[in-house]
Amino acid sequence: MSNRDREVGIGLIGFGTIGRGVVRVLGQNAAVISERLGARLRLVRIADLDTETDRGVDLEGIHFDSDAKALIADPAVDIVVELIGGTGAARALVADAIAAGKHVVTANKALLAHHGSEIFAQAAAAGVDVAFEASVGGGIPVLRALREGLAADRVLSIEGILNGTTNYILSEMEATGEAFEVILKRAQDLGYAEADPTFDIDGIDAAQKLGILVAMAFGAELDVDSIPTQGLRDLAPIDFEVARELGFRVKMLGIAREAAGEGDERIEARVHPALISLGSQLASVDGAMNAVLIVGDAVGPTLYYGAGAGEMPTASAVVADAIEIGREILRGAGAGRVPPLSRPLEALHSRELVPTDELHGRAYLRFEVTDEPGVLSKVTGALGANDIGIESVLQRGPASAGGSISVVVLTHAAPEAALRKAVAEIDEWPEVRARTLFVRIQENRE
């Protein structure tokens, strides 16, 4: 039987927004998928607890019920697609699928960030694949680029806008001059932000994605929950106004690189808002889009840009993974298989994180202080006493009827420990009306 007479069967667990997109992509692109695969990629079964809601897609010929275990056991299913999310039931079902000898495709970044090593080891022992392109960057093929296209390079750094919700909020705050709370509500109304947006706006989502990127780029296993994160809640319209005046934009970045010291095996990884130069490629990324800038020692800077979430972009990545596994199935078990993290599992090593106090760089500091003589010189004096050089100082205000003003200081490069110490001292003063905003300035490494 020729490959063109064969089928590769898909079983879909989780029939939410992305699951619906998978059904649509498989249907509308069936001809081109068959042409590229050399066989039919057929959706055999769907399992979801909600079997009543009309998803608005054609399910003719597809077995649809709530029995995920029966789906996994079905001999017509070659690849199990897990789209339920979370780390509880999803973890158990993925393990069951692997134990049953089924290949797995998932978009579940939380599952892989916390249990990836365990899952990949199970898959290797069972001789099956786990593919997860959609877990980072939605439809952007950044993981495939790291795993294969950049396999000959030593990755020097990763900088990325990894969360579309936060990028939308920052873009709108800059464009409209409206407060964070106003834009967040708009993002929720438009469906860009969840009812509980904590996961996005506090950097947790981006940190999980960064953990996967770090594993693939540096062969490093990190405690993802320990990646330092700083959210968006303290940013105000004045920060975008001043940033633009000074030649910057404010973006939420995930940043990773190996420690600079010779023989230092640690990894520098962090998620936080940053001021980036208007000339940076990442500065032009607006709305709910994502972008990842990867610098390799041989290839130099490479940029991966596109829709980082959404029904169809994410579904595109899920189906592309299924096609890749389908090719392996048609070639024969184990033929040409690429390790999921671009290296054998035994090449992965647990690595410690560089504490943020050891970082060294420029900073944007916004102080909210009383409008009275001597306060500005007192602020600059406290910074100088901690050996922090000042690049520029701007004053805005009075910001309110209470007579407070905003003092913005751009520092020269300094140890972060010194910057934090100075800010903590200043925040104790009676003249200070609100906690100081500390935002790092990210140097252009393109």
Which residues are known catalytic residues?
209
Closest CA to 254 of 217, 223, 229: 229
Helix (H) or strand (E) holding 414: strand 414-415
Closest CA to 158 of 213, 219, 211: 213
The SS3 call for residue 13 is strand
Structure-block tokens of residue 313 = 């972009």
Instruction: Judge contact between 212 and 136, C-beta under 8 A.
Output: yes
Q: Is the peptide bond before 398 cis (omega within 30 degrees of 0)?
A: yes
Q: CB neighbours (10 Å) of residue 125?
A: 11
Integer CA distances (angstroms), 59 to 16, 23, 51, in order: 14, 8, 12
Cα radius of gyration rounded to whole Å, the chain: 24
Angle between helices 109-126 and 204-218 (to 10 degrees): 30
Say how far apart CA 174 and CA 231 lie, in whole Å.
16
Closest CA to 46 of 38, 30, 58: 58
Instruction: Judge contact between 254 and 271, C-beta under 8 A.
Output: yes
First to last CA, the chain: 51
Closest CA to 301 of 155, 437, 436, 140: 155
Instruction: Judge contact between 388 and 423, C-beta under 8 A.
Output: no
